[in-house]
Amino acid sequence: MVTKDILNPQAEPRQTLKPLWLFFCVSAACSWIIWLWPLEQQGPIYPSLFGWRLGVPFALIKLLIGNCVPGILALVWTVFEGKQHFRRVLSSLKNWKSSPRSYLISITLPCIIYLIALDIVLLLFPAPHTFPPIKEFFKSLLMTLPFGPFWEEIAWRAYALRKLEGRYSRFASALFLGIYWAVWHIPLWLVTLNLNQSNRIPVLTGAFVNLVAWAFIFSFLYHRSSDSLPVVILLHATYVAASSQAGAVSPYRGVYLLEISAALSVLVGVVLSRRLHDKVSNLVPLDRTEG
C-alpha cells in the first residue's frame, strides 16, 4: 500500500496527532484559567537582577506563569510519549552552536521591523515623544528571556512544530501553529492591552495577523539554524522587547504602530513562507510502502 508523499524528510515519522490536539487543548485551558483568574492579593515583590531592583506586581507573575505552562506541559507530554521524543526536545534546546548569522538575524530583525514601523508612525502622526534609554531594551530582554520566550519555544517550535511537520508540509505546519498561537494569546491581550469598544476589534485583528506572520518567521529561522531552539528563544525575547520599547515611545499611537508593524511583518512572513514552500516543493517525493 503506497502512502502519501513525504514532504519533509527531516520531520518525525508519520503518526497520529491526537496527543498534539490534546496538548493544544490542555495548554490553552490552563493558560486561560491562570490569566483570567481574578487576583485577590495585590502588591509587588522586589527582586534584584544585575544591580537593578525591580518591582514585579503579582498580576504580572500570574501572567508569566500562564506563559510558561505550555512549555512545562510539552516536557510532560514528551516524557509520556517516549524517551526519544524527550531527547529530541532536549537536543533542540542544547543546539546552541548555530551560525552567528542566525543569532544576528534573531536580534536585528525584530528591531528593524519595529524601528521602521515607529518611524512611519512618527512621520505620519507627529507628536512629542522620547526614546527610552538603550538599557531599558536590554533590561526588558533579560527579564523576558527566561519566561515566555524560553518555555513557549519549547512548546511551539521544539514540540508542536516538529509534530505537525511529521504530518504536513513546513508551510502548512507554520500556518496552523501561527493560528493556534494567536488564538492562545487572545485572553492575554484582553487582560494586558488597553482595549475599549472603539479599538478592540482593530487591535485584536492586528495582533492576530501579526502573530501569524511571525509564526512563519520563527519557523524559517528555526529550520535555517538547524532546529536550534536557543536561536528562536532569542528571537522571541527580542521581539517582545522591541515591540514593548517601540510602544513606549508613542503610547497614544499604539493602534497605528500595531497595524503598520503587522503589515511589515506580513511582508517579511510572505517572503520567508515562500522559501519554506520552495524548500518543501523542491524535494523529490518518496513513496513508502507498508507491509
248-262 pLDDT per residue, tens:
887 778 889 999 999
The answer, yes or no, to whether residue 134 has pLDDT greater than 90, is no
pLDDT of residue 159: 95
CB-based burial, 3-41: b 16+ in 10 Å, e otherwise = eeebbbeebeeeeebeebeebbeebbebbbebbeeeeee
Does residue 10 fall inside a structural domain? no
- Give the pLDDT confidence score for residue 58 in this predicted structure: 72
The answer to whether residue 169 is domain-embedded is yes
Indicate whether 230 belongs to any domain.
yes
Q: Please give the average per-residue pLDDT across 205-222, as a whole number.
A: 96
**Nearest residue to 248 via CA among 148, 164, 137, 145:** 137
Whether 252 maps to a domain, the answer reads yes
Residue 205 lies in a domain: yes
Asked whether residue 282 carries a pLDDT value surpassing 90, the answer given is: no
Per-residue confidence (pLDDT) for residue 43, from 0 to 100: 57
Is the pLDDT confidence value at 153 over 60? yes
Region 158-175 average pLDDT: 94
- Would you say residue 36 lies in a domain? yes
Structurally, the chain folds into a number of domains equal to 1
Residue 3 lies in a domain: no
Closest by Cα among 178, 157, 159 to 224: 157
One-letter amino acid of 280: V
Mean pLDDT of 26-47: 79
Distance CA 177, CA 274 (A): 17
What global pTM score does this model have?
A: 0.85
For position 48, what pLDDT does the model report? 58
Question: Which of 10-19, 156-165, 280-289 tops mean pLDDT?
Answer: 156-165
Task: Write the pLDDT tens digit of every residue in 172-183.
Answer: 999 999 999 999
Give me the domain span that covers residue 247.
18-281
Q: Is residue 96 part of a domain?
A: yes
Least confident residue range of 10-19, 98-107, 119-128, 279-288: 279-288
